[in-house]
Amino acid sequence: MYYGKVEISGINTSKLKVLTEAEKTELLERASNGDMKAREELINGNLRLVLSVIQRFAGRGESPDDLFQVGCIGLIKAIDNFSPQYGVKFSTYAVPMIEGEVKRHIRDSGQIRVSRSLRDTAYKAMQAKEKLTSEMKREPTIDEIAGKIDCKREDVVIALEAVSEPISLYEPVFSDSGDTVYVMDTIGDSNDDKNWLNEIALKDAISSLGEREKKILNLRFLQGRTQVEVADAIGISQAQVSRLEKGALNKIKSEI
């Protein structure tokens, strides 16, 4: 079975139900109180979400049926663990869970397997690099990354090289009516939900900035440009860049 066809894992994808946000909220509340019928409705009503996530893994030699079934496991985990107190849409919470389950399946079923501890070190290093770049306003060295995650320099180098397909933490994974989920939302210690939710809060705070502020932060912290270079790129003075950058960072801090 292929993505171009309407059937996957015996399910006609053209007939998959789509729940409204109000329906999701009601069903999630009922499911959290032990209503198994509501839980089943939630699963069936979010299968399109699973399909949208697994499509980005097409062409990797994995069976669509297998990926769909594994994605459904991630969806069920999301349903069983979601809480309205997180303050985010269910899809924002569910997509990283679904993608994480699919990625684990792909890595564990590959011919060349990377140990779980090595993968964890690699992704912690990637996350540390992004944070240090933001804090230091330049790209950190391997030694600085190693110090941030309390690892040996050589362990960080080996871990990063072992990840066959490194990607940006800011690569979009799923977008639902403007509510975009990025790779960074899927990364984190399994025992540290607070940090994961802080990343979502950071994403929401950034999304509230103006387009010019977003562009300045992108050029400064993702592309590593100086304030003078940013000023030249968008046609304003270096002093204005400095003021807008400081204002944007303060706004993000206040919202978080």
Q: Does residue 131 lie within any of the structural domains?
A: yes
State if pTM tops 0.85.
Answer: no
Q: What is the CATH number of the domain that holds 32?
A: 1.20.120.1810
d(CA 44, CA 251): 40
Domain boundary among 162, 196, 227: 162
Q: Does residue 27 lie within any of the structural domains?
A: yes
Domain boundary among 44, 75, 110: 110
Domain boundary among 97, 131, 162: 162
Q: Is the pLDDT of residue 192 over 70?
A: no
Q: What is the CATH number of the domain that holds 234?
A: 1.10.10.10
Q: What is the pLDDT of residue 6?
A: 43
Residue 30: domain span: 7-110
CA-to-CA separations, 195 to 47, 98, 127, 185, 191, in angstroms, rounded: 28, 19, 12, 10, 9
d(CA 163, CA 107): 10
Q: Does residue 171 lie within any of the structural domains?
A: no
Q: Does residue 184 lie within any of the structural domains?
A: no
CA-to-CA separations, 7 to 78, 105, 109, 244, in angstroms, rounded: 24, 21, 24, 51
Q: Under DSSP, is residue 166 helix (H, G, I), strand (E, B) or coil?
A: coil
Q: Does residue 177 lie within any of the structural domains?
A: no
Q: What is the pLDDT of residue 191?
A: 47
Give the tens place of pLDDT for each residue, 135-169.
888 888 888 999 999 988 888 887 777 654 545 55
